[in-house]
């Protein structure tokens, strides 16, 4: 049986762990050649080996996407290697929570750098190739999926700057969708509720116990594969159908 993404080339940012790693595995399983972008080269190399072992095609592109020059070079490396880009999954992200009053402003800068500027740099560099793929690629359609969050739909105290980055991502996604959808580049946002990954591990112990542990104890969190399911669905629709927004929640997570 033909695989759904045979002949396509996909970039997944933040592919060294969590949702990005699950998505890279999934897209490769469906026949895409997958370029894995993140900073931890050892993790990327291990995932490339795993995908190859399963007879998939993958390529590690170690890169800090907060550096515009490096982000652009990473995208060019993918094109040099695979010749095209059909699918871009903007997944790399950072969540540092805590009060705005008295915050460590450096933590804000880190979130803005990854969640906003990294998103913009990679998207800007990839768009010309996505437009080309939509115009004369085998599928005549290309895809951008931006991994936002429930925090892009709802704001909570202690999540202020993370909320800012994810609400911003949602606005950017819809604006870009309107700009390029008639050229058959589908642009959509996927907003997960709570997922078991390393995302929370970058917070200090006090923030985790005060803010997140009671929050996460309320429900059974999703697995990264649950999000990969949604991404796979979004990028495998027929050419005439575009999923602009998908909100995936643990069943027992209310808010």
Whats the size of the chain, residue-wise? 255
- Which is nearer to ligand NDP, 42 or 104 (by Cβ)? 42
Q: Of residues 183-212, which lie at the interface with ligand NDP (CB under 6 A)? A: 192, 194-195, 197-199
β strands within the chain, DSSP E: 9-13, 33-38, 57-62, 87-90, 142-147, 185-192, 245-248
| Minimum CB distance to ligand NDP, residue 10 (Å) | 15
**Burial bucket for residue 54 (CB in 10 Å: 0-12, 13-18, 19+):** exposed
Nearest partner of 120 among 151, 85, 92, 159, judged by Cα: 92
Nearest partner of 64 among 14, 127, 123, judged by Cα: 14
- Which is nearer to ligand NDP, 43 or 184 (by Cβ)? 43
Does position 235 interact with ligand NDP (CB under 6 A)? The reply is no
| Contact indicator for 56, 29 with CB cutoff of 8 Å | yes
Q: Of residues 117-136, which lie at the interface with ligand NDP (CB under 6 A)? A: 118
- Which is nearer to ligand NDP, 109 or 138 (by Cβ)? 109
Does position 145 interact with ligand NDP (CB under 6 A)? The reply is no
Does position 8 interact with ligand NDP (CB under 6 A)? The reply is no
Task: Point out which residues pair with 87 in neighbouring strands.
Answer: 10, 143
- The answer to whether residue 162 is catalytic is yes
Per-residue contact string for residues 46-75; x = within reach of ligand NDP by CB under 6 A: ------------------xxx---------
Where in the sequence numbering do the catalytic residues fall?
Answer: 162
């Amino acid at each position: 049986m033909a695989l759904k993404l045979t002949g396509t080339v996909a970039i997944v940012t933040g592919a060294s762990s969590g949702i990005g790693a699950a998505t890279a595995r999934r897209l490769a399983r469906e026949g895409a050649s997958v370029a894995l972008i993140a900073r931890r080269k050892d993790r990327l190399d291990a995932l490339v080996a795993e995908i190859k072992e399963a007879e998939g095609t993958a390529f590690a592109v170690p890169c800090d996407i907060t550096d515009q020059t490096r982000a652009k070079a990473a995208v060019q490396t993918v094109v040099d290697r695979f010749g095209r880009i059909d699918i871009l999954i903007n997944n790399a992200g950072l969540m540092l929570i805590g009060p705005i009053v008295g915050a460590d402003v450096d933590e804000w800068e880190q979130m803005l750098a990854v969640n906003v500027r990294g998103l913009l740099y990679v998207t800007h560099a990839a768009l010309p190739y996505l437009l080309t793929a939509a115009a004369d690629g085998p599928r005549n359609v290309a895809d951008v999926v931006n991994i936002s969050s429930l925090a892009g739909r709802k704001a909570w105290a202690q999540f202020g700057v993370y909320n800012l980055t994810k609400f911003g991502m949602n606005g950017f996604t819809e604006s870009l969708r309107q700009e390029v959808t008639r050229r058959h580049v589908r642009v959509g946002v996927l907003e997960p509720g709570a997922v078991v990954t390393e995302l929370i591990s970058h917070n200090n112990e006090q923030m985790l116990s005060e803010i997140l542990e009671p929050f996460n104890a309320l429900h059974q969190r999703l697995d990264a594969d649950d999000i990969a399911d949604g991404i796979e669905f979004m990028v495998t629709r027929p050419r005439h159908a575009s999923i602009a927004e998908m909100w995936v929640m643990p069943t027992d997570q209310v808010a």
